[in-house]
Chains A and B, each alone.
Chain A
Amino acid sequence: MSTSKPETPAAQPAQPAEPQDWSSEIAELRRRQAAAREMGGADKVRIQKEKGKWTVRERVDALLDPGSFREIGSITGMADYGPDGELAAFTPANSIFGRGRIDARPVVVAGDDFTVRGGASDAAIHEKQVQAEQMANELRLPIVRLIDGTGGGGSVKQLETTGHTYIPANPGWNWVTANLSTVPVVCLGLGPVAGLGAARLVSGHYTLLLREQGFMFAAGPAIVSALGRPVTKEDLGGAMVHARSGAVDDIAEDEADAFAKARRFLSYLPSSVDGLPERGETTDPVDRCDDALDAIVPHDRRRVYDMRKIVRAVVDRDSFFELGRYWGKASITGLARLDGWPVAIVASDPMIYGGGWTADTADKLNRFIELAETFHLPVVHLVDIPGVVIGIEAEKAGTIRHAARALASVYQASVPWCSVIVRKAFGVAGAGMTNHTRFRYRYAWPSGDWGSLPIEGGIEAAYKAQLEASDDPAALRAEIEGRLNAVRSPFRTAEKFGVEEIIAPRETRPLLCEFANLAAPLRRPGPTGFGFRP
């Protein structure tokens, strides 16, 4: 053999043929993805279904536009390998995320899988949750959290394997917090939620618990019952408990309802604070006048009426989406459309403390005005506020500070604002209907009734000496009340331009649609911030 002769390829040692493509690896990828889609396995999935719950993947599909989900981290989990180095067993991570579309707009969705270790977060791979939040923030996309799992600590059993304790840190909390000022955050509590999961659930713009399936507590009934008084899961942290406490905004009747509500909430908002709420289609004429409004408020000031009827009559048909229905009930808050434009509606409910501000009502107003300001929604306020609620319980609750905080929100808000005085506006809270130093875009109904103090309660104090000196104080009181009532007509206020314009109630919708159209070009995208408030 001549050393100068070049070797031919055929002379090389025999090796396996180089694969023509990557089909073998792609098949492996698909096998792993399929294994992850099995979630906790057939038995655990069956148990989830027997409880009436959907799996996390069914939930994602129900939330998003059909076929739009693109998972990120689709083969994450805990793997065991056989002696041959081949994958022998696989348990997927119990937190999945990705992006998809809702009404054709991209969103991020992150969901807990209860079928893997009961959603315990030690099986979650925390970095996935962190990346989901960061993705929403940096790509300026709304995020929907499907929460069905326990806290961040997992189990104390872990100590046996880690061999050390650690100082707790909430994963991704900088992003969770930043997202509240950046993108719409929707949180659905679809199972038992405690600890870190509970903190993730309430850290949103629209949050709900699923009736009979969703529970939330800092610590569950076993731990709380051990402290003394036995409690059930439902009484401790059931959906209605927290809808009433104000810890969540809403309840869902079933899984489908939860996803429908999430989609609906997002339909009123821009994808981030850098956008503006988009005008929707509407077939409701702007000049539709509801004659029933001219008769809805009783002349007898002691009698109430149904404010929700008024709201529904003036906004675009079927467009009202109430938030916080079960707490802070003296004010009704919700999103709606006027001539297609998304707006924030605040409306007093005279059935609850006459519409007066309680501490929790003021808190709800704060939260809602922040939402409107953050996402550039013009505010319409239908006003019937007899004042700050009085009495021992109200004082103990620190009502005045909460009320002053709501006032600060009203005065710090920069979104376009229109008030309609339906009936009462008294005292500090009544004055909080609007920031009176802005252009007063305001109307009053003929039922308008206002002042620093209501006449009914003010006579005894103001005419104390005269009433005490009178032989017939009841008759004198009636005479004084008659004199004062004679000047109570809203027309007398309007003569002096103390109220800008009195309208027939039936004209309210056309005027509010005009407001929404005038307000639309005034909305400014970008981040907003509030200063210190009481």
Chain B
Amino acid sequence: MAVRRITAEVAGAVSEVVVVLGQAVAAEDTVVFIECMKMQLPVVSPWAGTVRAIHVEPGALVEEGQVIVDLEA
């Protein structure tokens, strides 16, 4: 088991955090939505695993490549 970092693919404002600490997610599950170009763009987990840290909250501005969630996978 290793900690893997889920990063934002786009810059924008976090509009919704979908997961909670300790939650199990499957690959392709959405963990956070980012508002960008007037749309709700999902940040999708590339792996299955357990959420170990959430680095953003609603309203936070994020940059492309910023770490959003740590996943134990």
Contact = CB atoms under 8 A, between A and B. Distances in A.
A302 interface: yes
B36 A354 contact: yes
A351 B38 contact: no
Contacts of A301: 38-39
Q: Interface size bucket, A side? A: 20 to 34
B41 A351 contact: yes
Contacts of B41: 304, 350-354
Nearest to B64: A393
A519 to B, nearest CB: 32
Contacts of A393: 11, 63-64
Contacts of A302: 38-40
Contacts of B38: 301-302, 354, 386, 454, 456-457
A303 B44 CA distance: 14
Nearest to B37: A354
A356 interface: yes
A352 B9 contact: yes
Contact of B39 (A329, A354, A389): A354
B40 A351 contact: no
A391 interface: yes
Contacts of B37: 353-356, 386-387, 389-390
13 contacts: A304-B42, A351-B44, A352-B9, A352-B41, A353-B10, A354-B37, A354-B38, A354-B39, A386-B37, A387-B37, A390-B37, A391-B11, A393-B11
Interface string A367-396: 000000000000000000011011101000
Q: Tell me which of A351, A386, A387, A457 has the highest count of chain B C-beta atoms within 10 A of its own C-beta.
A: A351
Interface of A: 301-304, 329, 350-356, 386-387, 389-391, 393, 454, 456-457
B34 to A, nearest CB: 10
A454 B44 CA distance: 26
Interface in B25-46: 36-42, 44
A86 to B, nearest CB: 59
A329 B40 contact: no
Contacts of B9: 329, 351-352
Contacts of A387: 37
B10 A350 contact: no
A46 to B, nearest CB: 32
A184 B9 CA distance: 32
Contacts of A356: 37
Nearest to B44: A351
A428 to B, nearest CB: 15
A387 B37 CA distance: 9
B11 A351 contact: no
A422 B38 CA distance: 17
Contacts of A329: 9
A301 B38 CA distance: 9
A378 B39 CA distance: 32
A258 to B, nearest CB: 22
Contact of B40 (A303, A389, A454, A456): A303
Q: Lowest 4 A-B CB distances belong to which pairs?
A: A354-B37, A354-B39, A302-B40, A456-B38
A351 B9 CA distance: 9
A351 B42 contact: yes
Contacts of A390: 37
Contact of A353 (B36, B40, B42, B63): B36
A353 B37 CA distance: 6
Contacts of A456: 38
Nearest to A394: B11
Contacts of A391: 11
A513 to B, nearest CB: 30
A448 to B, nearest CB: 16
Q: Tell me which of B10, B40, B42 has the highest count of chain A C-beta atoms within 10 A of its own C-beta.
A: B10
A488 to B, nearest CB: 14
Interface in B42-62: 42, 44
